[in-house]
Amino acid sequence: MMPRYIDHFDVLLFDVCGTLVYGYDRYGPGVDYYSTYTKLGGKLLPPQQLSDLVNRLHATISAAEKLEANFDPFPSLHQFALNADHTASLPPGELEIVEAVFAAHECGEIPPAIAEAARSLHATHPLGIVSNLWGRSAVFEAELQRHNLLELFQPRVWSPEIGCLKPARRIFEQALEQLDLPRERILYVGDTFLRDIYGAKRMGMAAAWINPHGDPIPTEYGVQPDRIIRDITDLLLPDAG
């Protein structure tokens, strides 16, 4: 086999949204939250009220995550819901279901080609996850399990369980402590420059940027990606130097 870029590394760590899972963050006007709500046992809220609740919650969290001061610590979905006027007055059981609807719509699907690439990568390298989420890791772990991928990724570090967002050092440190390897022997793969590439590079790891549209490299962070790829299938290709 011809050498590949990944053969310079002992472990591959991955972001999830836009890296393994696509079609995520399914929010906005006209989105059918009600079908999800009824599947989860919801009965009290009419469709329009449910839509307003979820969309306003999404707007609040989306705005909060953009502020550097919120990277660490970052509130949980439940904390956001409890502190929002439009959701705080819901009965506890109903609030739980609205949170579950929100979490379900954050997740998308793993395309077959990405799932197959993950299996091939695991044949030669240990894999792990370090990923930001707004909602619940269980939803994304269920999607990984649906493709029989869940146990291929060890460690799995999810931001809601740490209480901060990439590029905060603390979330990366959780994975690095578990791996106990020289940082330069770890390749981090993600699609968001600030959170993934800058976040990994300042921790001493190499970083592969998923950039299928050929966007220019941001200059304001003072780092360069070590590789630019279209998606994780490119990691299986021979190293062109």
Residues 61 and 147 in one domain: no
pLDDT of residue 241: 62
Give domain status of residue 132, yes or no.
yes
User: Whole-angstrom Cα distance, residue 47 to residue 148?
Assistant: 34
pLDDT of residue 86: 82
For the chain, the first-to-last Cα distance in angstroms comes to: 16
pLDDT tens digits along 101-159: 999 999 999 999 999 999 999 999 999 999 999 999 999 999 999 999 999 999 999 99
> Which pLDDT band, with edges at 50, 70 and 90, does 198 fall under?
very high
Record the pTM.
Answer: 0.96
pLDDT tens digits along 164-177: 999 999 999 999 99
User: Whole-angstrom Cα distance, residue 228 to residue 230?
Assistant: 7
Give domain status of residue 28, yes or no.
no
Residues 89 and 140 in one domain: no
> Which pLDDT band, with edges at 50, 70 and 90, does 2 fall under?
confident
Residues 61 and 150 in one domain: no
Locus of tokens 């970052």: 74
Give domain status of residue 184, yes or no.
yes
Share of the chain above pLDDT 90, in %: 94
Give domain status of residue 241, yes or no.
no
Instruction: Please say which residue of 106, 137, 170 terminates a domain.
Output: 106
Residues 148 and 101 in one domain: no
Give domain status of residue 143, yes or no.
yes
Give domain status of residue 135, yes or no.
yes
Residues 232 and 138 in one domain: yes
Give domain status of residue 43, yes or no.
yes
What DSSP line would sit under 84-123, residue for residue?
-HHHHTS-HHHHHHHHHHHHHHH--B--HHHHHHHHHHHT
pLDDT of residue 106: 98
Phi, psi angles (nearest 5°) of residue 75: -65, 155
154 in helix, strand or coil?
Answer: strand
Residues 146 and 97 in one domain: no
User: Whole-angstrom Cα distance, residue 63 to residue 221?
Assistant: 21
In the numeric block, which tokens belong to residue 134? 């707004």
Closest CA relative to residue 217, chosen from 237, 232, 202, 196? 196
- Structural domain tally of the chain? 2
Residues 95 and 116 in one domain: no
22 strand-pairing partners: 109
Instruction: Please say which residue of 84, 106, 128 terminates a domain.
Output: 106
Residue ranges making up the domain that contains 173: 5-23+109-236
Instruction: Please say which residue of 89, 106, 123 terminates a domain.
Output: 106
pLDDT tens digits along 150-160: 999 999 999 99
Cis geometry, peptide bond prior to residue 73 (ω within 30 degrees of 0): yes
CATH number, domain at 125?
A: 3.40.50.1000
Give domain status of residue 114, yes or no.
yes
